[in-house]
Amino acid sequence: MEHLNVAEYIDDMGQKQPDALAIAVLKGEKIHQITCKDLMDRSNALAVALREFGIKEGTHVAMMVTPGEELFALTFALFKVGAVAIFIDPGMGLNNVTKCLAEARPEAFIGLTKAHIARLLKGWGKPTLRKLVTVGPRLFWGGTTYSRLLAMGAGKCPEIVKVNTNTPAAINFTSGSTGRAKGALYTHGMFSAQVRLIRDVYGIKEGETDCSTFPLFALFDAAMGMASIVPDMDTSKPASSNPANIVKAIQKFNCTNMFANPVVVAKVGAYCEQSNIKLPSLKRVISCGAPVAVPQLSSFVKALEAGVEVHTPYGATEALPISDIGSKEIFAETAEITKEGGGVCVGRANSEAEIKVITITDEAIATFDPALIVPTGTMGEIIVRGPMVSASYYGRPDYTKLAKIPDGATFWHRMGDVGYFDEKGRLWMCGRKSHRVVTSDHTYYTLPTEAVFNKCPKIKRSALVPIRQNGKTKAAVCIEMPAQSRENQEAVKAELLALAAASTHARGIEDILFYPQPFPMDVRHNAKIFREKLATWANEQLG
């Protein structure tokens, strides 16, 4: 049975398979597990108690709880009472969290002890907060605790609030890796569509087990009837994860599914290849957040059974999933094109997503016009519409106006990426629109341009940036060298200039700058380069 309020799936699972595993959290040698009935009962008890405590339909609730039983039970309890959960990745930095909470205007704050300490130190939500819930020891700040709420509602069953497709369910903030973090308003209809699409696109069945390294996807697990296995890692800092702990979780619970961002895929793949480890229980791996480099993809696939793929769906916080491609097609057809500067193939649109490529503009578009659509093979701006797409940013009509294109009773979301369709109907992504460099005689796009330089085996990676000289914009490229080989830069520079001269994607680029440290990367995925910071540095270097 399809549900509009995804919290109802939890009750279905609790009644149909009460003793089945719902969540397992690994911490060192300790494993904490709860069943589907446990999760149902706890979310019910919390929903009753939260309503009595004053958190009810429409209440904005900031959530700062690590993945595990408490996060799952609390989130589904909030959905049951009709509250609006606010999800912010603390990895974006305390100052950015302050800005996000100021925009989201929470009336309640549910967090770990250390989250409440940070709240007090930074003044989070001070003008609006009225209700406080502490997960763990509560100090002097009042409110109530998670354990007390569980006790208050124990054995009780709430009346689940009636919702429609447009009822707000959550405010989910973007990472802020390519501009200011914005709160995408999720509705119950959007959540329900995402659950349906992820389940149907990947053929996920009830009773499967997911090794989930990203908290938001883990919330979908329970709604799809999958047990969530949370490995011993800091999910807010995936680059610091120990791949051995992730492999341990997969093997311990015979996980059939794994959801991970590119840095985790790279680390686990390298670890398995070096240690000759196989992961035969996995039926599929899903990786998104940024493109996965082909060598890292290849390493991971070696650990899988024949025929099992790593899927790299395309999407964003505001719209996911919208397309998909598997590793078989990447290896067989698209990897070589990517290497030559063709961008990254992100596959074909899923059954409920409609994707177009339109003429690139940085201005707001008042209404959709079919004349905006560019021909197949032509670079343009990627837009999408469908039930999995957020209609607005909370409290930011300016960003909403720039990101949405009205089209009668519907709308299109501007992904902020550029790309094109090929003759087979596959979408190719070529980087962020805001990162393209427009000069007097050429437009450079990040992924095609950087692919040219990345052919050089002596560098780690490259980043296209704009520089201003004599009142004109020029394209430059910053280079990150491997830590152990930062000498002979002049010889490497000559090789890079030769590659640029031989390619239409990089021709005309003459400024090559060797960045003295590892590139600044986003915290959430550790796969997106902070090109704005590199651009500032490059302009300082070139005067």
Q: Given this model, what pLDDT does residue 379 score? A: 98
Provide the total of helices (H) and of strands (E) in the chain, helices listed first.
17, 27
pLDDT at 124 exceeding the cut of 80? yes
Q: How many CB atoms lie within 10 A of CB 423?
A: 7
pLDDT at 375 exceeding the cut of 80? yes
Using alpha carbons, select from 142, 115, 147, 117 the residue that is nearest to residue 130: 142
* % of the chain beyond a pLDDT of 90: 86
Which residues on neighbouring strands pair with residue 476, listed in sequence order?
465, 511
Do 533 and 521 form a contact (C-beta atoms < 8 A)? no
pLDDT at 148 exceeding the cut of 70? yes
* Mean pLDDT computed over every residue of the chain: 94
Using alpha carbons, select from 182, 187, 75, 88 the residue that is nearest to residue 133: 75
Using alpha carbons, select from 188, 147, 160 the residue that is nearest to residue 47: 160
Q: Given this model, what pLDDT does residue 524 score? A: 61
Confidence of residue 26 (pLDDT cuts 50, 70, 90): very high
Question: CATH for 436-541?
Answer: 3.30.300.30
Give the mean pLDDT of 497-505.
96
| Single-letter residue type at 418 | V
Q: Given this model, what pLDDT does residue 526 score? A: 64
Q: Boundaries of CATH 3.40.50.12780 in the chain?
A: 7-202
Q: Given this model, what pLDDT does residue 215 score? A: 76
Q: Given this model, what pLDDT does residue 451 score? A: 96
Q: Given this model, what pLDDT does residue 458 score? A: 92
Q: Given this model, what pLDDT does residue 439 score? A: 96
pLDDT at 369 exceeding the cut of 80? yes
Confidence of residue 219 (pLDDT cuts 50, 70, 90): confident
pLDDT at 178 exceeding the cut of 80? no
* Residues 463, 486: Cα–Cα separation, whole Å: 17
Q: Given this model, what pLDDT does residue 216 score? A: 78
Taking only the tens place, the pLDDT of each residue in 271-327 is 999 999 999 999 999 998 888 889 999 999 999 999 999 999 999 999 999 999 999
Q: Given this model, what pLDDT does residue 2 score? A: 81
Of 178-182, 204-208, 218-222, the range with the highest mean pLDDT is: 204-208
Taking only the tens place, the pLDDT of each residue in 71-121 is 999 999 999 999 999 998 877 778 889 999 999 999 999 999 999 999 999
* Residues 13, 17: Cα–Cα separation, whole Å: 6
Q: Given this model, what pLDDT does residue 486 score? A: 63
Q: Given this model, what pLDDT does residue 32 score? A: 95
* Residues 520, 533: Cα–Cα separation, whole Å: 8
pLDDT at 523 exceeding the cut of 70? no
7-202: CATH superfamily: ANL, N-terminal domain (3.40.50.12780)
Fold of 206-311: Rossmann fold (3.40.50)
At residue 338, the 3 state secondary structure works out as helix
Q: Boundaries of CATH 3.30.300.30 in the chain?
A: 436-541
Q: Given this model, what pLDDT does residue 177 score? A: 66
44 Cβ contact partners less than 8 Å away, ≥ 6 residues apart: 11, 77, 80, 153, 156, 157, 158
Taking only the tens place, the pLDDT of each residue in 377-419 is 999 999 999 999 999 999 999 999 999 999 999 999 999 999 9
pLDDT at 427 exceeding the cut of 80? yes
